[in-house]
Chains A and B, each alone.
Chain A
Amino acid sequence: MGMVLALFSCTNDVEVLPEIETGWSKVSAISDEVLAVYKASDERIWVGTATQGVYVYDGSNFTNYRTSQGLINNTVNAISEFSNGDMWFGTSGGLSVYDGSWTNYDQVNGSPFEVYSLLNDGQGNMWINSWGMGLFSYDENDELLWYWDANCDWCNYINTLFQDGQGNLWIGTYAGLKKRANNSFTLYTITDGLPDNVVTSVYEDSWGRMWIGTYNGEKIGMMENNKFSSMSLQSGYPVNSIMAISEDIMGNMWFGAIDYFPDTQEFNNSGIIKYDGATMRTLVDEGPGRTNTLAFLEEGNGTVWVGTAKGLYKYKY
């Protein structure tokens, strides 16, 4: 009968696929605090940690690179891939570039620097922030440009970089949100409707709405049609500030919150807040629970990687 059925079926051979394991799982290979998660063009997942350097996941195994392997510093705040395929790592001790071997930069403009954010703009430029030193861009012709805001000291303290669908660059600073469009910068502050001037995360969702995370843990900022507004993070649980924002394939927004003053490492004012398009919900008893949440990577296929103070977690739809 089985043969008859097989002959009758006109389907192509069905590949034997692993069943979906939905829900949360913790990545046991990484126990350190995770600061950045990045998917490279070769599909490998790179994970920056607070004290253990960077891990790379090839689909089956994690490999760890630390200073002993050539990384400049074991605190990896940011990861990006340059247009030539080189991996860049922004650390608390400078910049490392990996192309199979390591090249390190511990100074810029003659000063030591800390890199919190990296952004490949897809036009041949890598944007680099240096804590307290403003913004740099590096292009494929090895030209380095320095963007220093002489009128706003705190604008040179940059937390985050983001590029929207129109190619505009958004810069989250200690003094507001800057937008770079058509080679000019515009600064938006609390007077324009931001919940707070310290901008810690920026994200554009699939509806074209900009989401702006700040030190204000009660509200998340939004910008739509050039108008700012804010939405209450009324999840029933307080948070201190939103450090990471992402959107999953089901249209849910994910907000990663941190607690600056954790009580005995319990991080009572931190965690993941999910917004389903209508309601906010703090994930208290699932996934990593109440812990500092600093990075998201939505793979676009139903997998969300979540970097937390407790390590790396994975959520599958």
Chain B
Amino acid sequence: MWGQSKLDSLRMNTRTMDRPITVFKGELRINGGYRFDIFNNRYDGAGEKINLSAMDGKAAFQDALFMNMRYGITDFLDIEVNLLDFKKMTVRETPVDIIEDVVWEISRLTETVGNEDLLLKLNMRWPGLPRVVDVGLSPGISFPTARHGEQQPQHGYNLPQSSLGIDSPDAVYIDYHQVYKWGAGVTRSYLEGMVKWRGQNVALSGAYSAHFPLKTGKAVYWIHRLDKAHFSYRSVEYEYDWADFYALNLMAEYQAYSWLDILMGFNHRTWKNGWEGMSGEIRALPERKLANLNLGYEVIITPKMWLRQWLRFPVSGKNTMSSFVVDTKFVYSLSFK
């Protein structure tokens, strides 16, 4: 079943920058890794950068585990599926004390958890082109893995023992804990175009992709009431149209050694045309933008296993939080006879 093949010798002699933009025929390539984000800043509607921790005491982190697989149907066509993109984003606001006769300690924890949508792609490259250039096109479709929106909150309330039974307690502690799900909640179409130019030891590539929702979705948010020490919750349904998503990715590679490729990149992402509505009124969500500069490398550990690591730095944005990202992934390549 598995064994030495022509593919293995191909991989052994292929530097990172020379690798085609599709996988080889019969190759099964598995990507898996871990990414974490530290959200330090937020960009407002005018593009001004606001330091989150300095302005409102927020701290936000995101962990992500991801895995995808590609299989080469021919040397010019592969199929790709994102099997796992599990993320957990945590935003915690530092407790706020409101002091009157009563001390209120209010903390807020917002989590966004779960799997991103399942993306299925066909990657095609133009056949018959010389080594110096590669051109590709990737249509795809993504399927929701969960209902988009907020899960039932898990707020907590506590009175100190000394205050129990007293009409006006001297201190109250409230933890607002809200949980959201990742994913658009609706099926979306996907299209990406790629072009790559190769020199002797340098390669330049560019890709432009777009993601469009195929229909509108319905989600809920939750409202709460605190009755004595017990929170009650009620959901309110609303309709939404997931924002169109556009991404431009530019990358320069320098093949320093046959086993080491130095990567520099820039990406710019835009979310727009999304809306939410209820009671018959539809209102647009603000357009969001985020641009990053990326630095990375890829090491060929063995012909079958590579390590790729990226650092991402935000450089500009609009209406979005921005993060410093460390992205590490291993790629394992198998030949399938």
Residues of A in contact with B (beta carbons under 8 Å apart): 1, 4-5, 8-11, 14-15, 17-20, 206-207, 209, 232, 234-236, 249-251, 276-279, 281, 299-302
Q: B189: CB under 8 A from chain A?
A: yes
Contact B287 A19 (CB under 8 A): yes
Contact A14 B210 (CB under 8 A): no
A-B contact pairs, 10 of them (CB 8 A): A8-B139, A8-B191, A9-B210, A11-B215, A14-B244, A17-B283, A19-B284, A207-B232, A276-B224, A299-B281
Contact B189 A277 (CB under 8 A): no
C-alpha spacing A277/B176, complex, angstroms: 11
Nearest first, the 6 A-B pairs at minimum CB distance are A251-B223, A17-B284, A301-B281, A278-B226, A9-B212, A236-B100
C-alpha spacing A206/B221, complex, angstroms: 14
Contact A206 B283 (CB under 8 A): no
CB distance from A203 to the nearest CB of B (A): 14
Chain B residue, CB-CB nearest to A230: B167
Residues of B within 8 A of A235 (CB): 100
CB-CB under 8 A for A11 and B223, given A19-B287, A278-B174: no
C-alpha spacing A234/B283, complex, angstroms: 35
Q: B257: CB under 8 A from chain A?
A: no
**Chain B CB within 10 Å, residue with most, of A9, A18, A206, A235:** A9
Residues of A within 8 A of B168 (CB): 232, 234
Give how many A-B residue pairs fall within 8 Å (CB-CB).
100
Interface residues on B, range: 35 or more
Q: B183: CB under 8 A from chain A?
A: no
Q: B106: CB under 8 A from chain A?
A: yes
CB distance from A254 to the nearest CB of B (A): 14
CB-CB under 8 A for A249 and B241, given A20-B285, A207-B225, A277-B225: no
Contact A18 B214 (CB under 8 A): no
Contact B193 A10 (CB under 8 A): no
Chain B residue, CB-CB nearest to A248: B223
Q: Which of B108-138 contact A (CB under 8 A)?
A: none
CB distance from A22 to the nearest CB of B (A): 8
Residues of B within 8 A of A281 (CB): 98
CB-CB under 8 A for A206 and B278, given A8-B189, A9-B189, A236-B100: no
Contact A278 B284 (CB under 8 A): no
C-alpha spacing A132/B313, complex, angstroms: 70
Contact A277 B226 (CB under 8 A): yes
Q: B35: CB under 8 A from chain A?
A: no
Residues of A within 8 A of B106 (CB): 279
CB distance from A95 to the nearest CB of B (A): 31
CB distance from B195 to the nearest CB of A (A): 11
Candidates B104, B210, B241; contact of A279 at CB < 8 Å:
B104
Chain A residue, CB-CB nearest to B277: A301
Contact A251 B279 (CB under 8 A): no
Residues of A within 8 A of B234 (CB): 206-207, 251
Contact A278 B231 (CB under 8 A): yes
Chain A residue, CB-CB nearest to B284: A17
C-alpha spacing A299/B212, complex, angstroms: 31
Candidates B100, B167, B212, B280; contact of A11 at CB < 8 Å:
B212
CB distance from B265 to the nearest CB of A (A): 20
Q: B314: CB under 8 A from chain A?
A: no
CB-CB under 8 A for A302 and B283, given A207-B234, A250-B223, A278-B157: yes
Residues of B within 8 A of A20 (CB): 283-286
Q: B275: CB under 8 A from chain A?
A: yes
CB distance from B154 to the nearest CB of A (A): 13
Chain A residue, CB-CB nearest to B281: A301
C-alpha spacing A250/B178, complex, angstroms: 14
Residues of A within 8 A of B104 (CB): 279
C-alpha spacing A278/B98, complex, angstroms: 14
C-alpha spacing A277/B222, complex, angstroms: 11
